[in-house]
Every structure is written in structure tokens, then in C-alpha cells.
Amino acid sequence: MQIFLIGFMGSGKTTIGENLAARLDLPFTDSDSWIEEKEERSISEIFAQEGEAYFRSLERECILQLDTESRIIACGGGLPCFNGLIDGLKKKGIVIFLETGVATILENLGDQQIVRPLLHGMSREEMEQTTSRLLELRQETYRQAHHRILTDGKSVESITTGIIELLHL
């Protein structure tokens, strides 16, 4: 069984994924970390040097190279929205959308906002507007997940427990 966590950047996919993997004693993969390791450079550097299209091709490669071993996978925020990957994820395993509001996303990102390629160099107001706009654009894809978990105001533990209960694990 593979469980894919999707949602906007800052929705807690990595933190919740690591917690879920530990609780279920399964391996954990983060698509962004996989890409950084493979490319030996940061996501920001990849975006700056190669552009978004190249980065999206790396995301696709990451998902295609996954074997069938049971694991928890935290997907980059845009991963399911490009190259038809939402359908590929749904064929490979269970897809869970971590639905998170803009205020929580920006709070979760904290100082990481400055290194996120899509938010780099923006004022707080610009980040809120960009996050709202991108989130709205991606909602249709995110909502194609098998399940949706609302995360605002919930702890990592309660979200993890909710996923375990939802999947009857």
C-alpha cells in the first residue's frame, strides 16, 4: 500500500507523512527531497537554473520510479497538478488531500517562504494573494484525491490519527 499526501506547500505533507510513516512503521519518501538528492541542488536552484518545466519533469520521474513497496509519500505541492500525475498517483495508491487554509499555510511556512520559488521576494500581502490564487487553481486537482482531511487548527498527531482511522489501519 502506498499513501500519497497532496496539498499546497506548507500544508504539512512532510511533517504529517513522517509521523504517519513512523506510526505505521513504513518507509517515507518526500518527492522534493528525492529531487534535491538526485540533482544535488535545491529546488530553488533547479527553478532558477532550469525553470519550472524541467522541475515538473523531475517530479514525474520521481513518481514513475517508485516501486510497489508500501510507503508514505509526501508530494510536492504542484506535483499532482501537472503531467496528469493525479491519475498516476490514484492508480499507484491511496491519495489524501491535506486541505489547508491560506493563513495556516503561511504560518506553517514561516521563514521558509523566502526560499520557496513561487513566493521568493514577495511581500506578505503578495504572498497571501499568490497563495490564494494558486490554491484556487489547484483545488480542482487536489479534490480528485480519494480522501480529504481538513488540517486547520489540528495537531500533527490528530491529523495522523485521523488518517489511520479513515484508512482503517
First CA to last CA distance, the chain: 11
Phi-psi region of 8 (alpha: psi -120 to 50; beta: other; left: phi over 0): beta
Given a cut of 60, is residue 163 above it in pLDDT?
yes
The answer to whether the predicted template modeling score (pTM) of the entire model surpasses 0.95 is: no
CATH number given to 2-166:
3.40.50.300
Question: Are residues 79 and 6 in contact, defined by beta-carbon separation less than 8 angstroms?
Answer: yes
CA atoms of 85 and 120, how far apart (whole Å) = 25
Give the tens place of pLDDT for each residue, 28-48.
999 999 999 999 999 889 988
> Domain-by-domain residue ranges, the chain?
2-166
Give me the chain's average pLDDT, please.
Answer: 90
Residue 114's pLDDT is 47
Comparing 12 with 68, which gets the higher pLDDT?
12
Residue 112's pLDDT is 56
Which cell numbers in the block locate residue 95? 491519495
DSSP 51: -
Give the tens place of pLDDT for each residue, 85-131.
999 999 999 999 999 999 898 888 775 544 556 666 677 788 788 88
Give the tens place of pLDDT for each residue, 2-22.
999 999 988 999 999 999 999
